């Protein structure tokens, strides 16, 4: 076996994982009734609020959302979050910030 073959395979694996940007949702509790499939009620992505700030409205924090694969800019990150959370019927993502690794994270909330 040639010494550079494992390195080549490792590089190909990393390149294969570097696909298009996506999101990861990390619920505070999988036991919460919100995460049961029968409780999902999708909504129009444009109705999901995505903001770097906080909201004046009462809400319940239910999860964190992260981008993965480094979106090209803030608008793409917000669009990814909005689209993904609309599938779950979430109302908003607040306190969105850019991390050192150039991905974004925020807090998923439901209005009370």
3-27 confidence digits (pLDDT tens): 544 554 444 444 445 568 889 888 8
Instruction: Kindly tell me the burial class for residue 110, based on how many C-beta atoms sit within 10 Å of its own C-beta (0-12, 13-18, 19 or more).
Output: middle
- For 67-96, what is the mean pLDDT? 92
What distance in Å separates the CA atoms of residue 67 and residue 99, rounded to the nearest whole number? 10
Number of Cβ within a 10 Å radius of residue 95: 15
Q: Residue 18's pLDDT is what?
A: 53
Which two tokens mark 53? Answer: 């700030």
pLDDT above 70 for 43: yes
- For 38-43, what is the mean pLDDT? 74
- For 52-76, what is the mean pLDDT? 93
What distance in Å separates the CA atoms of residue 84 and residue 47, rounded to the nearest whole number? 12
pLDDT above 60 for 82: yes
């Amino acid at each position: 076996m040639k010494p550079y073959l494992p390195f080549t395979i490792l590089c190909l694996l990393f390149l294969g994982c570097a696909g298009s940007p996506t999101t990861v949702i990390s619920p505070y509790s999988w036991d919460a009734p919100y995460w049961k499939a029968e409780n999902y009620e999708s909504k129009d992505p444009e109705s999901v609020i995505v903001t770097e700030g906080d909201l004046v409205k009462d809400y319940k924090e239910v999860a964190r959302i992260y981008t993965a694969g480094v979106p090209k800019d803030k608008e793409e990150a917000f669009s990814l979050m909005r689209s993904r959370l609309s599938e779950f019927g979430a109302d908003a993502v607040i306190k969105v910030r850019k991390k050192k690794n150039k991905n974004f994270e925020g807090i998923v909330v439901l209005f009370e």
